[in-house]
Amino acid sequence: MGRESSKQTILEIRDLEVQFATEDGAVRAVDGVSLSIGEAETLALVGESGCGKSVTALSIARLVPEPPSRVTGGSIMLEGVNTLAMNSRELRSLRGAKVAYVFQEPGSALNPVFRVGDQIGEAIRLHRDLRGGAVAAEVLRLLKLVGIPAPEARMREYPHQLSGGMQQRVMIAMALASRPRLLVADEPTTALDVTIQAQILSLLLDLKERLGMAMLLITHNLGVVAQVADRVAVMYAGRIVEEAPVEALLRLPRHPYTRGLLDSIPKLGLGAERLSTIGGSVPHPGEMPPGCKFAPRCSIARAECHLAEPALEEIEPGRKVRCPFWKSVS
Ligand SMILES: Nc1ncnc2c1ncn2[C@@H]1O[C@H](COP(=O)(O)OP(=O)(O)OP(=O)(O)O)[C@@H](O)[C@H]1O
Ligand SMILES: [Mg+2]
């Protein structure tokens, strides 16, 4: 299913490079990443721990601490404005307003000493021209929007009085308070119980449809991707290795790494013994192999894969893969 090109581009990341200063010198955590997200579109960013998903996402609003990090290349256009060129005042007004974040641990992101309604109200006052009773009405509307039952009572409670799922709904309400153009959800369900995960996911899906927001959804769970995303970008060792519309990617992955990720999803009705994992581990950023970064773990790697890194190539419209042997992936 192709995306209509008439849709406005909300986010356009080009050739992003982010380095970290470490004791062993500078290491590149994000290396030449390009991504774009259109209006009302959800792009999922997937890949194993440490591949650079959060650093990529946090770079949009320059939330990676500098130092130790440094953006060494690329551009990040959010509604046509390069956030990498913004000064600190411009960044402060960008954060929350145009791009809002929802993270894994809702409990630690909420302030324990303020009532949840006051925290949402503060986010509203910070970004919008509402005051007094209009703020309270908006708090109620947002709590209803994110599916919190009895919102009039809940808004007067403190974070510890809410369950993890309800806390995450409050975080989502706070993120929506400014009516952002882009919502970044970084592992929004990982810290929650399985049944609650499904509820938060269906909330995100519902919000995306009702509000027409652009969303960058970070997860290492491809099951989550299938439910919520329009397109998927797969990262490995700081690079994009595959990008495709969600149905195409799940039906027929073209990069051996994506194949490996898909094979490690538990399948209904099959025992755990059928579950395979990708052998080996992600290379440390300071010890990158010279050729394809996945070659040491790849079952179809040839001698040349260890010598030079393949380019990310467009193999059909909307579909890119960083593997010249993608036809051998099945
Ligand atoms: N403060 C830091 N100092 C040094 N290196 C860092 C720092 N933060 C991140 N990195 C490095 O950047 C790389 C990318 O990290 P990132 O947090 O983006 O991974 P991720 O894909 O989000 O992983 P996860 O799934 O575990 O959240 C990692 O290899 C990590 O070691
Ligand atoms: Mg992360």
Q: State the distance from the centre of ligand 2 to the C-alpha of 268, rounded, in angstroms.
A: 27
The pLDDT of residue 108 = 82
What local confidence, expressed as pLDDT, does residue 1 receive? 43
Nearest CA to ligand 1 atom 25: 49
The residue whose CA is least distant from atom 12 of ligand 1 is 29
Instruction: Name the residue with tokens 């009085």.
Output: 161
Question: Would you state the pLDDT for residue 272?
Answer: 47
Calculate mean pLDDT across residues 51-76. Answer: 96
Q: Where are the domains of the chain?
A: 9-98+180-328, 109-179
Q: Which atom of ligand 1 is nearest to the CA of 55?
A: 18
Query: Which residue from 8, 35, 11, 9 is spatially nearest to 183, judged by alpha carbons?
Result: 11
Partner residues linked to 240 by β-bridges: 235
pLDDT for 231 beyond 90: yes
Distance between Cα 287 and ligand 1 center (Å): 15
* CA–CA distance, 176 with 164 (Å, rounded to integer): 18
Answer for the pair 170, 112: CB distance below 8 angstroms, yes or no. no
Measured in residues, the chain has a length of 330
**Band of the pLDDT at 148, cuts 50, 70, 90?**
very high
Backbone angles phi, psi at 115, to 5 degrees: -65, 145
CB-defined site of ligand 1, < 6 Å = 20, 22, 29, 47, 49-55, 68, 220, 285
Q: Which residues contact 90 (CB under 8 A, 6 or more apart)?
A: none
pLDDT score recorded for residue 266: 66
Q: Which of 20, 103, 217, 222 to mutate to test the pocket of ligand 1 (most atoms within 8 A of CB)?
A: 20
Question: How is residue 288 written in tokens?
Answer: 């990158």
3-state SS assignment for residue 187: coil
Query: Of the ligands numbered here, which is closest to the C-alpha atom of 219?
Result: 1
**Cα angle value 181/119/108 (rounded, 5°):** 90
- What mean pLDDT comes out for the span 303-322? 96
Q: Which residues surround ligand 2, an ion (CB under 5 A)?
A: 54
Tokens of 65: 């601490």
- Mean pLDDT, the chain, whole residue set: 91
Mean pLDDT computed over 110-135: 94
Cα dihedral 311, 288, 59, 218 in deg (nearest 10): 80
Q: For the domain covering 9-98+180-328, report its CATH number.
A: 3.40.50.300
Mutate to test the pocket of ligand 1, among 54, 218, 225, 241 (most ligand atoms within 8 A of CB): 54
Indicate which atom in ligand 1 lies nearest the CA of residue 56.
Answer: 18
> Strands (DSSP E) along the chain, which ranges?
9-22, 25-38, 42-46, 69-78, 81-82, 99-102, 182-186, 214-218, 231-236, 239-245, 313-316, 319-321
Q: For 151-173, what is each residue's pLDDT tens digit?
A: 999 999 999 999 999 999 999 99
Closest ligand 1 atom number to CA of residue 18: 12
Task: Tell me the CA–centroid distance for residue 206 and ligand 1, in Å.
Answer: 30
| pLDDT tens for each residue of 18-56 | 999 998 889 999 999 999 999 999 999 999 999 999 999
How many other CB atoms are found less than 10 A from the CB of residue 198? 15
Nearest CA, atom 14, ligand 1:
52
Residue 248 CA to residue 231 CA, distance in Å, equals: 9
Question: Which residue, by CA, sits nearest to atom 4 of ligand 1?
Answer: 20
Q: What pTM was estimated for this model as a whole?
A: 0.92
Point out the ligand nearest to the CA of residue 288: 1
